[in-house]
A = this chain, B = another copy of it.
Amino acid sequence: MDIKKLPEGTIERLSKYRRCLTTYCKFYRENIFSHELARNLHLTPEQVRRDMMLIGHSGSHKNGYNIEELVEKISEVIDCRGKTNVAVFGLGNLGQAIVRYLQDKETRLNVEAIFDVNPEKINKPFLSVDCYHIKDLKRIIKEKDIRIAVLTLPGDDAHDMALEIAEAGVTGIMNFTPVPLKLPEGVFLEEYDILTSLEKVAFFAKK
């Protein structure tokens, strides 16, 4: 299978398998069965085995998967593009949370630049990452070879900003603003809306 054609769901689960294996499993044991990995992530064992087949990995009937080998295989697939430089747009609480989060985790995603418009934030590093004025985005994105933009700006300017960012060469945008974006083809977009999730929980939570 051409790994570039892996379904989005598989990629999401591979990321979760790896996190589960490196964070919660590796200290205790050497092997893990598909049904154990499945239980940890609330999936079916069939789903886990199907994902493993898609990336060409197999375990043994007797011992399951060797954890170290499996982590290595998953990393080969999802980190296939090597290190990826990320810029965070908006250094409010959410922007700060994301910069900190990515620095704390084992991941190939490097935050290489932050953008904001607040003069008190610009030209001061945050957790060792430089913060630039948004008007310089074109130059900085090119200079630092930024591939991914994470938007945590207020919604009002999000759309125009995203178009400018895409034009500057970014090929993946993670949109945390409440405004759904429409981007040129060739730019991969993922959106997440905190309020929608919370309103859903409120609706389905029993009274």
Residues of A within 8 A of B (CB): 6, 8, 11-12, 15-16, 19-20, 23-24, 40-42, 78, 80-81, 84, 86, 92-94, 96-98, 100-102, 105, 107-109, 147-148, 150, 155, 170-174, 178-180, 182, 186-188, 190, 192-207
Contacts and interface: CB of A to CB of B under 8 A. Distances in A.
B172 A19 contact: no
25 contacts: A8-B200, A11-B203, A11-B204, A12-B200, A15-B195, A15-B200, A16-B193, A19-B195, A42-B180, A93-B97, A93-B100, A94-B101, A97-B97, A101-B194, A102-B195, A107-B199, A147-B205, A148-B202, A172-B202, A172-B204, A174-B197, A174-B198, A190-B201, A192-B192, A192-B197
Contact of A205 (B6, B12, B171, B199): B171
Contacts of A203: 6, 11, 78, 80-81
Contacts of A105: 195
Contacts of A178: 19, 23
Given A147-B207, A195-B105, A201 B188 contact: yes
Contacts of A170: 205
One complex includes copies of this chain to the number of 2
A109 B199 contact: yes
A155 B20 CA distance: 11
